Amino acid sequence: MRNQRFISLIAGCAVAVGALFVVPASAAAQATVERFAISFEAGPDEVSDTCAGEGVVGILTGTGTFAGQRVETDSGTHFRVVITFLYRVDFPDGSYLVASQREPMTVNENPLVGVFTFGGTLLERGTLYDAAGNIIGNEMFHARFRTTIVDGTPTVEFDQGFIRCR
């Protein structure tokens, strides 16, 4: 399923997000701003959620960047990040998919009122090639998600994804 790759990438990035929230408390009425960029590699992983056809399994490998800014104040933390991911999926018949993905995301935490929100959008575009390097198709995947948690209970959750193959 397409969301497997999406959820897998988000889960990996969530670990990095969590690490960025572990910092000393800021002084009263002062904001602490931290900018960061973290590179990562993915794969080799089996995937079957491409426009190559129903049940076709390929091997995904890729690299990406997790870059953004964290702002911490006495009233909470705001985290803004853009995840970029460039990857290739190789199929047993020699065909392959080359794609790129961009995902802006925000995270807000306000411990004074017990509210935590995060959300983002993802746009992925890829080109499918045959074994000889000829273009045989294109894919576009768009997803969006948002979650709000109040006092440990999710109050708003949605996760939508749309794929188009040509």
pLDDT tens-digit series, residues 32-48: 999 999 999 999 999 98
The predicted pLDDT at position 25 comes to 46
The 8-class DSSP code of residue 75 comes to T
Q: Which of 8-22, 56-70, 79-93, 110-124 has the lowest mean pLDDT?
A: 8-22
CA 71 to chain centre: 20
Taking residue 165's Cβ as centre, other Cβ atoms within 10 Å add up to 14
pLDDT of 145 > 90? The answer is yes
Stretch 140-160: mean pLDDT: 90
pTM > 0.85: yes or no: no
